[in-house]
Structure 1
Amino acid sequence: MNQRLEQFSNWLKETEQTFAFVHTSANVFYLSNFNCEPHERLLGLFVFPDQDPFLVCPGMEVSQVRDAGWKYDIIGHGDADQPWDLIHSALKKRGIDDAKQVSIEKETLSYGRAEQLMKRYPSVKFNNAEDKLNELRLIKDEEELAILRKAAELADFGVETGVNALREGCTEMEVLATIEYELKKKGIREMSFSTMVLFGEKSGQPHGNPGSRKLKKGDLVLFDLGVVLDGYCSDITRTVAFQEVNDKQKEIYDIVLKAQLLTLDISEPGTRLGDLDKKAREVITNAGYGEFFPHRIGHGIGIDVHEYPSMSEDNDHVLKTGMTYTIEPGIYLPEVGGVRIEDDVLVTKDGYETLTKYPKELQIVGN
């Protein structure tokens, strides 16, 4: 049994659980190395305190489970099968006739699937496995960090590609297409979220939608993108000015950059997570733009592009060596434009390392 599964299994034993049912693609991947998007079909990993686990997946994926290195039982189900009957039978073979304590991912398990367990085990009590899984995933090992560094390099390349594609009159979607095409040529099949390329006043929308807006002289251009590499995500935001910059644009850029750099300066083991948000918010608020910074300072990053922990002001947990997360302050002025600067960050024993390295100083680009 791999170390991750063993740690999780030991926790089930310590907490006297009958078994755990893990169904999210990210947690199944973390524990089994099998990465799958099953859509509406059932994917699940059943983990026990004192027996070998088994994995449930669509029948068409069984060979890929083996290719991923899974050495235990697999229940492959066809579209006409009732997978819960197959699961019930497999549990019975393991001597489980009455599941009293079952750990699940409470935030994401559908009621319909919980109902399937309750129907077969009427006295079941559900417990939350997510806190333990978050704890395990929080600290990245060297193999994970190597992938995250490479994913960050590719995110840097994506921004560089986008900047080089800027031409007066081009559209947001044309630049976006160029970025993703060049990344696909490097072997990237999937972006970690919908790529954002926003021009001018649209850069003032924190989660704006790229479209047919044409690039004009004096526009701010906001890039927010990331890739999925070997199951791990990157996430970078950079903002540049096209051909010229006015005083207001430069002012908010300098404030956001200051907020980001000062927040990075306190990124070290032992720092309270909420203090990262507080530091950036203090800089932006003192400059008179507090109401235009509407989101948290960042989020954990790894298998999921947004994962535990949430880097909000009320989070009392502290940074630990091996954690990876984003720092991404922003100022967004409606009908004017906005600036966000985001890096992927690793906590080291002495401080921090930024995994994304594309330049952050204000760039005025274009012919």
Structure 2
Amino acid sequence: MNEKWSRLEQHMSQAGIDTLLITDPKHVYYLTGFASNPHERFLGAVYTRGEQPFLLVPALDEAAARSASDVDTILTHSDTDNPYAILKQALKGKAGVLGLEKNNLTVSRYEALQAELQFNEARHVGDWLQSMRVIKSPEEVQKMQHAVNLIEEVLKQGLAKVQIGMTENELVAEIEYQIRKVGADGPSFDSMVLSGDKTALPHGVPGTRQIQAGDLLMFDIGVYAAGYASDITRTFAVGHLSDELTRVYNTVLAANEAAIAAIKPGVTFGSIDQAARAVISDAGYGPYFLHRLGHGLGIDVHEYPSVHGDNQDLLQAGNVFTVEPGIYLPGKGGVRIEDDVLVTEQGVSVLTRYPKQLTVI
């Protein structure tokens, strides 16, 4: 049984929880090393205090689970089995007080569990896992650095393919080809390539717009590798750039650098957002910074913390999150520069290393 289960057992003891049922595939991977997408089939990691954890997986995933998981006991269910009855048998009909991720269970699954296990009470445990995941281990950081390295190579290769007249969708296709070519598991979100005035849309959708001279060209892309995500945004000038958009770019870069300079253990997440926002506001673009500064990064591409001005939680060594200020001028264009950062005992380590100075392609 690994150290994570031991930490969970302490939480269970304090909260009076007898049995823990983890059904979020990302959390199953975090706790056991087994990553899968069970689709509509049941997947669960189960732990009863004082016993050994076990996995209940679809039968078609048994070999993969035995190969990847550090849990010794693997139970399976076929497509014609009732997985909740198998779970009841494994627990000997005694779930007691059950710990669940309530935000992951559907009503129908909850009712099926209740019908079979007849547990005394269900309590939410998602916050425990959040508190554990927010501090990345050195091994997790190493996996994340690998994911960053891969997406930076993808960006380098994709940028070399840019041509006047190419559409955004054509460039997205090139990016996603490179994602597979470099050996990543896949994109960590829908790859976004925007050009011209469409860069003023923070969550714009790539389409058939053709890249033109004088455009801003924005890449917001990431990959999964070994179960961990990367997320990077870089914005480029195609051929040339107006004085106004050059000023916007330099302001966003200064905001990005100000936020990173403010990162150290013990300061609030809100103060990091405010450091970037002050730079943008002082330059007269305050109303055009439309979103939070960043978000947590790890097994999920968006996870705790939310890096916004009202978040008074304190940074701790081991936190990994994005720093991505932006300015978006309707009808003209927008700039976002996004880095992935690790809080260290000394301050900050920037995992993304792709150049940020304004680059004309």
Q: Hey, which bits of structure 1, 4+ residues long, moved more than 4 A?
A: none
CA contact (8 A) 2:237 2:359 kept: yes
**Match for residue 159 of structure 1?**
155
Is the CA contact 2:158–2:178 (under 8 Å) kept in the aligned structure 1? Answer: no
Q: 1:11, 1:49 within 8 Å by CA — same for their partners in 2?
A: no
For 1:352, the aligned partner's letter is V
Q: Kindly provide the amino acid, as one letter, of the partner of residue 110 in structure 1.
A: T
Q: For the Cα contact (< 8 Å) 2:32–2:71, is it kept in 1?
A: no
Partner of 1:27: 27
**Which piece of structure 1 moves more, 338-347 or 206-215?**
206-215
Map of 2:354 onto structure 1: 358
- How far, CA to CA, are the matches of 1:174 and 1:182 in structure 2? 13
Partner AA of 1:57 in structure 2: V
TM-aligned CA deviation for residue 296 of structure 1:
0.9
Q: Secondary structure at the match of 2:91?
A: helix
1:103 aligned residue: 99
The 5 A counterparts of 1:120-199 are: 120-122=116-118, 124-199=120-195
Measured in 1, the distance between the counterparts of 2:26 and 2:117 equals 26
Structure-2 residue corresponding to 1:59: 59
CA–CA separation in structure 2 for the residues paired with 1:122 and 1:66:
29
> How far apart, in 1, do the equivalents of 2:84 and 2:198 lie?
48
Which range moved further: 219-228 or 102-111? 102-111
Which sections of structure 1, spanning at least 5 residues, go unmatched? none
Instruction: Please state how far the C-alpha of 1:14 moved relative to its aligned partner.
Output: 2.8
Measure the CA separation in 1 of the matches of 2:302 and 2:179: 21
Identity %: 40
Residue range with higher mean Cα deviation, 348-357 or 285-294? 285-294
User: CA–CA distance in 2 between the matches of 1:66 and 1:10?
Assistant: 27
Q: CA-to-partner distance for each residue in 1:124-144, whole Å, 9 max, x for gaps?
A: 322221111111111111111
Aligned CA distance change for structure 1 residues 123 and 66 (closer, same or farther; 3 Å):
closer
1:215 alignment partner AA:
I
* In the alignment, structure 1 residue 210 sits paired with structure 2 residue 206: yes
Kindly state the Cα deviation for residue 316 of structure 1 after the two structures are TM-superposed. Answer: 1.2
Distance in 1 between residues matched to 2:42 and 2:9, nearest whole Å: 22
Shift of residue 321, structure 1, vs aligned partner = 0.7
**1:267·1:351 contact (CA, 8 Å) conserved in 2?**
yes
Q: How far is the alpha carbon of 1:76 from its aligned partner?
A: 1.3
- How do residues 166-315 of structure 1 correspond to structure 2 at under 5 angstroms? 166-315=162-311
Separation of aligned partners in 1, 2:187 and 2:13 = 38
Q: Does 1:73 align with 2:69?
A: no
TM-score, structure 1 as length reference: 0.95
Alpha-carbon distance in 1 for matches of 2:45, 2:302: 22
Native 8 Å contact 1:194 1:225 kept in 2: yes
Kindly indicate whether the alpha-carbon contact (under 8 Å) linking 1:233 and 1:305 is maintained by their aligned counterparts in 2.
yes
Separation in 2, partners of 1:123, 1:2: 26
CA drift of 1:303 comes to: 0.8
SS of 1:270's equivalent?
A: coil
Q: Given that residues 179 and 186 in structure 2 are in contact (C-alpha distance below 8 angstroms), is that contact kept between their aligned partners in structure 1?
A: no
> Is 1:91 aligned to 2:87, yes or no?
no
What is the count of residue pairs matched by the alignment? 361
Task: Give the whole-Å Cα distance in 2 for the aligned partners of 1:28 and 1:308.
Answer: 18
Alpha-carbon distance change, 322 to 123 in structure 1, aligned in 2, over 3 angstroms: closer
Deviations, residues 132-167 of structure 1 (Å, cap 9, x unaligned): 111111111111111111111112112212221111
**SS of match in other structure, 2:162:** coil
How far apart are 1:120 and its partner, in Å? 3.2
Q: 2-side partners of 1:308 and 1:108: how far apart?
A: 16
Tell me the CA shift for residue 68 of structure 1.
Answer: 0.5
- Give distance in 2, aligned partners of 1:264 and 1:183: 27
Distance 1:219 1:124 in 2: 62
Alignment partners' CA distance in 1, 2:132 and 2:202: 31
TM-score (norm 2): 0.96
Shift of 1:100: 3.9
Q: Deviations over 1:312-349 (max 9, x none)?
A: 22211111111111000111122211110000000111
